[in-house]
Structures are given as structure tokens and as C-alpha cells.
Amino acid sequence: MSDENRERVRELVAGTEQDPLAPFALRPEREYALSPDHAAAIGFVRRLGVVVVGGDPVGDTDSWPAAIDELERLAGRHPVAVLGAGERAVPLWQRRGLKGIPIGRDVVIATGGFDLVGRKYRNVRQGIQRSRNAGVTVDVYREGELPDDVVGALRAMERRLGRDPSRGFSMILGRMFDGSAPNAVVAVAGDAGGRVIAAHRYLPAGPDLSLDLPLREPGAGNGVDERLVAEVVEWGRQNGVKRVSLAFAPFPDLFAVKDGSLPVRAAQRAVHVFDPVIHVERLYRYLRKFHAFGQQRYVMLKPAQILWAATAFILLELGSYSRRSRAIARTRGIRA
């Protein structure tokens, strides 16, 4: 893909609204299918003979069908599967024979309506107050304006936490401090002694921000993450940001069911198979505090390819770039 076309994709991401996954279209290992008018693009990778799309197309929704047509041309005989399709794109994939499986919901806070007033936000308020009582402070920066000592502290935290930069195909960009996202917003929490103990990094797309990477020392204390979210929402309100996306909540409708039937209990237990990688239910219980569940997200695939597609999804989300992906990252000056 030419540098000119890649820059065009970056422009499309910058102009995309109401899509929390749009910033992650810029992951370094992705290829792109562009509509003939270059008004829309789809990011994808190839794994195990499957062409895997991450999220929705970016750009003009009127040009999405043409971008999908181009993707199918590039895929040739290889099956196409989509990880994290939004509600606007689902009908387009269904017309091409793919079936949808709901996997979770976006979590999006409207900055103009988030005031922490009322009983439903009590847990968030209590967490924020605990962080203040502990002397935690929060500063919000553009990534390109972070002080050198803070950059050093965050890099050291990344190393201690052992974060795999290739992980999170559909919902993590990573690549902090490589110069690719100077306008990213970074909220940094320090303890009473001034030591950096946590940080959230958010990526811009249109007038919105999407949480990319949360970092947190194990002993950071209760309420630090809630405090970082609240501070970013307030910063966003003052700087023209309309929505702040926190993350993707896997299977919230499943965990919200209280009937206790055998099938429900079995399904709830089954998702704990992911616990060694991500504590799905714990994430749900954290995110529900913000009362901001949004649109449903889907896996789109043909039932006959479910085994290969599911294996490809797992390999992509759990990390470890292929040798080719590492080579691509190196040619672009990105640490793989």
C-alpha cells in the first residue's frame, strides 16, 4: 500500500464519528481495502487463510459497500470474517452471506451528560473520593507534550507489566511515544509522593476519544481508574470532545441476566475460560458502574468457517505478531 493511501486512511479515521473502534484501524500490521472514490476504507489482516476485518469501515458510510466490494476482491477465494462489527455495518455483511454473533457492547460516555449525580453513580463517586483521600493527583496531557520524566515512568511501567505490543487487534493500538499519535490524550495518576502509579491513553477520532491503553501498578489503590475516567471526561468537556469511549464490554447482556437457569449459568461459567487473559466478568462489573452501554458489537462469519475464524481471532487478540508483521512494523519505524 502506498504511503499516500495509508495517509488517506489516517485522514478517514480522523474524520470518523461515533465509532469507538475507528482509531484502531491504524494498527501497523493491517492492510487496507479502499473504495474507488477513496472515501471509505477497511483494515484487515490475513491469518490461517482467513481475511480478518477489525471493526467497521472508516470514512463515508455511503462508500462502505464499495469498500467491502474491494475487500472481497482482494480476499479472492479466502473467507472473510469480521471481529467487532457495529450495528450500522451488520446488514452489509449479512447481504454477503455472513451471520452475526453478538459479543458485547461499546461503553461510551457523553461528556455533556456525565455529572456523577444520583444514586446510580454512587460507586464511581466513592471510588473517586477514595483516590482523593489517598492523595492521588491526575494530570491530563497531549501525548506529544508529555514531560520526559513522565514518559520515562510510563515506559518503565509498561516493561514491568510485561505488556505485549502485538496484542489487541480490534481494540488496542499501543505504540506509545513513537510519534505516530501526538494528539492522543494521556491522563496520568500520581500518588501522594509524586510517583506515577497509573495512566490511561485515549485516541482521537472526530470529536470523540477512545480508550486505547490503561496502565496501572498493582498497588495503585481503589478508585484510581474511576478518577482517571472522570478527569478525562471533564477535560474532554472543556476541549470540545463529545464522547469518551472506555472500552468494549464483553457479554454484558449475559451477565445482567438474574434468572439463574441452567443454560444461563452454564454460559456465564463458560466465558471464564478467558480469565487467564482477561477477566471478562470483572471487566463487565467495572464498566457497568458508568451506565454507558452503547451499541451491540458482533462477530460476522460464515458458519462453515467458524473453527478457522475463531482460531484466527484468538491468535490476533492474544498477541504475538507474525514474522511478516514484525518486518512491516520495522520498515515503518515502529517498535515491534
Tell me: the pLDDT tens digits for 24-63? 999 888 899 999 999 999 999 988 888 999 999 999 999 9
pLDDT confidence band for 244 (50 / 70 / 90): very high
Q: What percent of the chain has pLDDT over 70?
A: 82
Q: What's CA 44's distance to the chain center, in Å?
A: 15
Q: Which of 246, 268, 303 is the last residue of a domain?
A: 246
Q: What's CA 138's distance to the chain center, in Å?
A: 22
Same domain, 144 and 25: no
Task: Kindly report the CATH number assigned to the domain that includes residue 58.
Answer: 3.40.630.30
Cα 281 from Cα 289, distance rounded (Å) = 13
Which triple of cell numbers denotes residue 195? Answer: 510517583
Q: Which of 246, 262, 285 is the last residue of a domain?
A: 246
Least confident of 42-56, 208-222, 240-254: 240-254
Same domain, 92 and 138: no
Same domain, 165 and 219: yes
Section 269-289 average pLDDT = 69
- Which is more confidently placed, 149 or 161? 149
pLDDT confidence band for 327 (50 / 70 / 90): very low
pLDDT for position 282: 80
Q: Tell me how many degrees the CA angle 35-39-44 measures, rounded to the nearest 5.
A: 55
Same domain, 123 and 225: yes
Cα 34 from Cα 206, distance rounded (Å) = 19
pLDDT at position 194 over 70 = yes
Cα 257 from Cα 268, distance rounded (Å) = 10
Residue with cell 470532545: 241
Same domain, 111 and 187: yes
Assigned domain for 37 exists? yes
pLDDT confidence band for 179 (50 / 70 / 90): confident
Same domain, 192 and 220: yes
pLDDT for position 255: 64
Assigned domain for 284 exists? no
Assigned domain for 288 exists? no
Q: By C-alpha distance, which of 27, 61, 48 is closest to 314?
A: 48
Least confident of 229-243, 250-264, 319-333: 319-333
Q: Structure pTM?
A: 0.85
Same domain, 230 and 303: no
Same domain, 68 and 179: no
Amino acid identity for residue 52 in this structure: V
Cα 219 from Cα 81, distance rounded (Å) = 40
Assigned domain for 336 exists? no
Assigned domain for 97 exists? yes
| Domain residue limits at 239 | 107-246
Number of Cβ atoms within 10 Å of the Cβ of 297: 27
Assigned domain for 286 exists? no
Assigned domain for 195 exists? yes
Assigned domain for 252 exists? no
Same domain, 205 and 307: no
pLDDT confidence band for 301 (50 / 70 / 90): very high
Least confident of 45-59, 152-166, 210-224, 268-282: 268-282
Same domain, 158 and 218: yes
Same domain, 145 and 158: yes
Q: What's CA 156's distance to the chain center, in Å?
A: 23
Number of domains in the chain: 2
Same domain, 182 and 143: yes
